Amino acid sequence: MIQFHTLYANNTQEIVDAHQKVMNHFNIPVKYQYGGDHGSWIDSIMLNNKEDVVGFFDSDCVPLSREAIENCINYVIKHDSFIGTAQASNHIPPASHIFAAPCFFIITRDCWERMQKPTFRAGPQWDVAEYVSYAAEHFKEHYRCLYPDCWEREPVEGVWYLSNYGFYGIGTVFENTVYHLFQGRFPNNKKLFIQRCDDIVNGNFSTEGFFNSKDFDYNGNIVR
């Protein structure tokens, strides 16, 4: 009924190993593939595979429970729609469009086909997978985003704004469903991800000390 897929690069083997440990722990089968452009890879899977429901995890994004993932699958099937983590491309105007990002993403094939098979590739006016949300808005297809609860480390370029909702950053938890590291290419972030995966598998994962994604003042500054 559903198949999950994950793309990884040659510098992320430690992250992939940690990722597999979590997926095995929750008994969630994943097909791993090496290399390639992210958006083009998703397009290829959507075009060439025959699953009724298709899911994606980034190699640095892991579930916090099997039940949470099953709830997302059930939502997508019930509404014949898609779901993904909420993201806004701060580097692409208008920088305020919230869309279902592909770090954790599930979609029915029927929904994708009703929208005339929109591409997942990035373009001058949208990020990877963002065009799919634009297509849904155009065709009046309802979909759902999982919004960030909290995050634990500020990215090197500064924290990311999620339109008028709040902020997210390195190590973001989305609606107690998935943990997304972001920027796994940096060595100190790799160590963080491996530790968090161990915490999840051992039942020790905690968001104590994280920043609340919605704690900001009237000027849009983070409340620390």
**Cβ 164 vs Cβ 148: under 8 Å:** no
Q: What pLDDT score was predicted for residue 187?
A: 83
Q: Are strands 82-88 and 211-212 parallel, antiparallel or unpaired?
A: unpaired
Question: Per residue in 131-142, pLDDT tens?
Answer: 999 999 999 999
Separation CA 166–CA 211 (nearest Å): 11
Q: What pLDDT score was predicted for residue 173?
A: 98
Question: Per residue in 196-217, pLDDT tens?
Answer: 999 999 999 999 999 999 987 6
**Confidence band for 224, pLDDT divided at 50, 70 and 90:** low
Q: Above pLDDT 90, what percent of the chain?
A: 80
Residue 25 has pLDDT above 80, yes or no: yes
Residue 94: asked if its preceding bond is cis (omega within 30°), the reply is yes
Residue-range domain boundaries for the chain: 2-212
Q: What pLDDT score was predicted for residue 20?
A: 97
Q: What pLDDT score was predicted for residue 188?
A: 85
Mean pLDDT on 68-81: 98
The domain over range 2-212 is classified in CATH as 3.90.550: yes
Q: Above pLDDT 70, what percent of the chain?
A: 97
